[in-house]
Amino acid sequence: QQGRAVASERAPSMPRQAPSGFQQLGDDGTDSQLGDDGTDSESWPQKMQLMELMDERESGGLRLLSDLTGGGGAEKLASMLGSSAGSGLSGEAADLDHRKVLFGANAFREKEPKSYLELVWDALHDAVLIMLLVLAAVQLPTELVFGKDKSTAWIEPTALFLSVFIIVNVSSATDYVKERQFKSLAAKLNQSNKKVVVRRGEQTEVTDAEIVVGDVLAFNAHSLASLPCDGVLLSGSDVKVDESSLTGEPDPMPKTAEAPFCVSGTDVVSGSGRMLVVAVGPYSVSGKIKMAVYHDEEEDDEASPLFVKLNGIVEDVFKVGLAAAVFCFLAMVALGIVYPSFRGCGEEGCWDFLEVEWLHLIEYMLTAITVLAVAVPEGLPLAVNLALAFSSQQMMAQNNLVKHLDACETMGSATTICSDKTGTLTANRMSVRAVRVGGVTYSAAGDSKRSLGRQLVELLPEKLAHLLAHLICVDTMDESFLEVNEATGATGFKGNPTECALLSLVAEMGYDYAALRHDTPGRSLATAARGKPFMFSSKRKMMSWAVPLPRGGYRVYCKGASEIVIARCDAMLSASGEAAPLSDAKRQQLMETVVRPFAGEAYRTIALAYRDLPGVKSASSKELEATHSTMTNADGSAAYVAETGLTLLALTGIADPLRPEVPGAIERCNRAGIDVRMVTGDNLDTAVAIAKNCGILRPQDLEPDPAHAAGERPKPKRALEGREFRALVHRTHADGSLALDEEGKPEFLQTQFDKVWPYLRVLARSSPADKLTLANGLNKSTVFADAQQVEELRREGIVVFPDRQVVAMTGDGTNDAPALKRADVGFAMGVAGTQIAKDACDIVLLDDNFASIVVAAKWGRNVYASISKFLQFQLTVNIVAVSLAIIGSIVFQESPIAAVQMLWVNLIMDSLASLALSTEPPSEELLARPPVNRSTSIVTRQMWINMLGQAAYQLGVTLFVLFHGAEHFHVLDGHDVDNSKPSVHYTILFNAFVLMTLCNEVNCRKLEGEFNVFAGVCSNAWFVGVLLGTLVLQVLAVQFGGRALRCAEGGLTTHQWLFCVGAGLFSLVWQQALNCYSLLSRRVDARRKRIKKKPAHGGAVKFMSRTGNGFQEFRRSNPYLGKSLSTLRFSPSSKTAPDLISAVAGTGPVAVSRPSSY
C-alpha cells in the first residue's frame, strides 16, 4: 500500500483504477503497461541504468542509487520498479512477461549442441580411424595399378572405407543422441533449482529462470545461499557473501545499507535477508562475464583410468601389429624374391635386377598392410562410446543424473562411500515424536487417540503451550513453511525439514504459524527491521531470533542442538511455568534421562530456550552483538552473550524414519567391498542408533556396555564426534587447541589420520571442513602399503583395500561443495541439494536416496566389465587373424584369409559385437566382487587364459584346415588355385574361423571363469539379436557373397557346414576346460600362498605316548613338507602319533587330547 501511494504521488495522471498488467496507449500512442502499483512501465528505471548501478558498485554505486531514487534507497527503487519491499510483485503472468521483455530473462541462450556433421568431423580425428583411412587410400590406387584382377581391385579398399564410414556414423549418432539427451536432462536439473521470492505478500518457490527484475528475493546461508541474479539489499541480518569467485578476496564481504549490492554467482555464507532484483541473466555482472567467455569454453577434463588403460592397450596392439606386418613383409620378400634369386647362383652370378618380379613386392606390401589393418582394434572406440552412453541412460532411469561420463567408470572403483544421514539414509520426512516440557515427556506413541499436538494443548497450561508455539514460529526461517496440496489435501514441507516438523507440531496444536509471525513485532515482514535474527550455521549448531517485548526490552528465542543449548541454560521452566535454576547435575540428568533415550530411539534432539533482555532498546543495540569472554560456539568462535544464560523451555525428539531400502543397500556395499561411513551433523547417540539400524555399525564394531541403554556401545574410534576427530587428526597444543599451519589452517597429520580412518564408521556433529578432511585424507592414505598395519587390522576384522582409496562423497549444502569436488565421485542431492553442491558434483541423485548410490556403483562396474568383455573378444580375434596371416605369408607368401574377409570379420563381428557386449545389463554378481583396482591392468589373468586358450583352439582348427583341409574335404588346395578365383578350401577355413569367433562371443560374456556362460543371456535382447543377425549375415556371405567376399561360387555343402558349425560349438566345450584349468591353478596358487604365510622357525620335540615314543628335529613348522625332517627316531616297537607331530609349531607345542595311530 505504501508502494501504491508513492507511485500515485509520482504519477497522478495515470488511471489508478486500471488493473495490474492492463495494456493501454501511452501519450505518444505506443503500447505501455502498468506496474503492480499502477505506474507506467515507461517511467521505470531503464535497464542500462540498473546495469550501471551494479557496475559501479565498488565506487560510485551508492551515489548512483541515491541520485536514481532521490535518496530513498532500495525501498524507493522497489516502488519505482512497480514492486514493493514488503509484498513484492503481484505475480500476474502479463506483468512478469513484460518485465522479461524490458529487462531480459534470468537465463542464457543455450549453447547450441554440435551438428551431426561436426560430430562426424570430430570422430574422424581418432588416430585408429585415420590410420585405417590411410591404409585404404594407399591400397586403392595400388590395387588398381598393380593388382592382378583390376575388376575386383576396388572391393577391399572400399570395404575399408565402408568400415570407417559405419564406425564414424555409429559413434557420431551416439554422441548426437547423447548431447541432446544431456540437454534435456540439464533442463530437468534446472527445474529443480528453486529460489524463494515474495509475491502478493507471500513467499513463493520459483525456478531461477522465473525470477524477474523487481522481484524480492529471500536468501539465507543455509538452503538458499547461491544468488542467481544481481540485487540491492532490502533487509538482512549478519549477511556475509563470498565474492572470491569475482574479486579473488578470500574473506566474506558483509552486506549492509552502506554496502547493499549483491552480485549474481556469489554465495551467502552467513545470515539471511531479502534483496530487490535489479539485473538478471546476461545483463547481470556474472552474466556479462559468462557471455564474454562463452564461446571460449572448452572442457579440459583429465582422462579417466579406463581411457588411460585403453589408450595404452591400443598403442601396444598397434606396435605388435606393426611388428607383425613388417615381419610378414620381410619374410615374403626374403622367401619370394631374395631366396629364389640366390638359389640358382653360379659362376655368372646370382642376382639379375631385371629378372626380379617386382610386382610381387606390391602384393607383399598389400598383405602386410592387411595384417596391420586386422591388428588395429577399430571396434574399441565404438564399444567404449556405447558402454558409457548405455550406462548413463540406464542410470538416469534409476535416478542418477550423470554430469561427467567418466564418473560412471570411476564409481566402479569406489572403495568408500561417505554418506549424509538426513534425507539420504533417512526419508527426510520428519515429525516430532516426543516433547519434554515442564518436567514431563509427551510422546506421539503414548496416546493413540490424540496427536502429540493435541496432548500438549490439552495437558499443558495455556501460557506454556502458547510460549512453545510462539517460540517455534518466531525462531524458524521464512523459507520454511507448510504447503497444502489442494487436490489431495496433503501437507507438504518446503524448506528445512527439521523446522517444518516443528511447524507441523504447531499446526497440530491449533496455531497458525503465519499469523503468529505476522502478529509478532520484529518478526513480521512489515516490522522485520525491529527484530534481529542469528541465523543457523553448521559452525554454531543453533539459531536465535530477538524480538521486542510489549513491556519493553527484547526476548531472544533459541533453538539448536540439545547438548549445546542445554550447556548455555541457567534455568528451566517447570510445569507451572516458573523458572527453576538448572545446576550442572540437572544438566547431566537431562542428558542421561531425556536426550540419550531420545537419541537411542534415533530421534534428532532439538532444544528450545529463550532469554529476556530488559536493557536492550533496539535491534541495533550493541548488547545483542556482544560476544562472550569464555563461552564458545561449536567451531571455537566466541558465542553471543545474548545466546547464553538461557531458560530451557522444551526438548523435542524428531524422528526421520530410515528408508526401507537402505539396510539392504548397505549390505550389498559390504559384500562388494565398499565401506560405508556416515558423516552427519546430528548428535552422536542419534547417529549411532541410525548406523546400527541400517548396518553401518556391524556386530563386530560393537562391544558390551551394561551402563548403556542399549546394552552395547561402539568400540573405540568406530564412532566419533567432530571435535574428537579434529583433535585426533590435527596437531594440537598442550591446552588441546588446534595448531595452525602457515596458511592459518589446522595442521593436518596424515600419519595420525591413517590410525583413525580404518576404524571410523560414524562421524557425528561434523562440520563441512571435516568432510573435506575425510575426503582428502582418504585419497592420500597409503595404509595399504604398510603390511604390518594391514595385518593388525585384519586380525581385528578390518579389511583394507590393497590400493589407494577411491572416495564417493554425498552432500547437499553449499559448504559441502569443496568436499564433493575433492572426492573421486561427488554425489549431490537433487531434491534437497543447493545449486552450488550440484555444480560441484559428478552425479546428481534425483531422489536423494542412498540406494541410488549403490545403483551407480553397480553400473560403474558394469562399464568396466563391458569394455573388458569386448576387449577379450576383440583381442582373441586379432591374435588368430594375425597369426594366420603371418603363417600364410611365410609358407605361401599370401594370407589364407583374404583382406576383404578380414575386413568382413572386423566390420560384422567387431562392430556388432561391440553393440552386443557393451549393452550387457549389470548383474548382482558384480557387487559380490571387490572394487576394481585402478592400478592393475584391464586384461586380467583369467582374460589371458580365455584369450590365449581360445586363440590356441581356433588357430589349431584353422591350421588343420589350412594344411590338411583340402585332403580331408576332397577339394582343391587353396594355394594351388588361381588367385583370381576363390577356393572352397579357403572358404571352409574362413567360415570355420567366423563361426568359432561367433560362439566365442558367448564365452566372452563371462570374465571370471564362470561355467554357465549362458546365464542371463535372455535378459539382453541386444545380444541375442546381434548374435542371430551376425549368423544370418555370415550364412548369406558364404552362400551368396561369391567373388566380392572371396567365397566359393555356390557356397559350401552340408558336410562342410556341419564341420564349421561343430568347430564353432566345440569352443563352448573348450571354454569349460579352460575354466577347469583356471580353477585348479587358482587353488594351487592359494595353497602356495597359505604355505608361504606359515612360520618357518624350526625346532625339535621329544614325545612319549601310549602309541609310541620318539624324537623329532625339523627346520620347518610342518614336518610333512618334504625335506624338512633332519632327524627322526622312534622306539622299535612303537607306532608314530602323526597328530602329535603335526600339532607342533615353531612357536611351541600344542596339546592333543587323543593321539591317533597307524
- Tell me which residues are annotated as active site: 420
Strand 825-829 to 843-845 pairing: parallel
* H runs (alpha helix) in 192-304: 244-247, 285-293
Report the distance separating Cα 66 and Cα 870, nearest Å.
70
**Angstrom distances, CA of residue 366 to CA of 136, 371, 894:** 10, 9, 10
The three cell numbers locating residue 627: 560476544
Environment class of 834 (CB within 10 Å of its CB; exposed 0-12, middle 13-18, buried 19+)? buried
Residue 626 has a CB neighbour count (10 Å cut-off) of 12
Q: Are 674 and 416 in contact (CB under 8 A)?
A: yes
Contact 430, 655 (CB under 8 A): yes
Compute φ and ψ for 106, nearest 5 degrees: -85, 55
CA nearest 845: which of 451, 399, 430? 399
Q: How many whole angstroms separate alpha carbon 1042 and alpha carbon 428?
A: 68
* C-alpha cell of residue 440: 514431563
Can you read off the three cell numbers belonging to residue 549? Answer: 517485548
Q: CA 643, CA 532: separation in Å to the nearest integer?
A: 12
- CB neighbours of residue 463 within 10 Å: 11
Main-chain phi, psi angles of 90, to 5 degrees? -80, -25
Q: Are strands 675-679 and 702-704 parallel, antiparallel or unpaired?
A: unpaired
Q: Which of 435, 525, 510 is nearest to 466 (CA)?
A: 510
User: What SS3 state is found at 218?
Assistant: strand
**Closest C-alpha to 689, from 674, 676, 702:** 702
Amino acid at 77: L
Which of helix, strand or coil describes residue 426? strand
Distance CA 201, CA 693 (A): 44
User: ∠ CA(499), CA(853), CA(816), 5° rounding?
Assistant: 50
Which of 230, 241, 199, 192 lies closest to 216 in space, CA to CA?
A: 199
Return the ∠ at Cα 1102 (arms to 1097 and 1103), rounded to 5°.
Answer: 120
Residue 1096 grid coordinates: 618357518
Q: Between vectors from CA 461 to CA 459 and to CA 467, what angle results, nearest 5°? A: 115
Strand stretches in 1026-1132, DSSP E: 1099-1105, 1108-1114, 1125-1130
Secondary structure element (H or E) that encloses residue 1019, with its range = none
For residue 981, the SS3 value is coil
Nearest CA to 661 among 928, 396, 419, 850? 850
Instruction: Quote the distance between the C-alpha of residue 20 and its chain's center.
Output: 47
* Angle, vertex CA 268, rays to CA 833 and CA 99, nearest 5: 85
User: Residue 1090 and residue 672: Cα distance in Å, rounded?
Assistant: 24
The CA-based angle 70-76-79, given to 5 degrees, is: 130
Determine the residue type at 492.
G
Task: Name residue 1115's amino acid.
Answer: R
CA atoms of 706 and 723, how far apart (whole Å): 26
Amino acid identity at 174: T
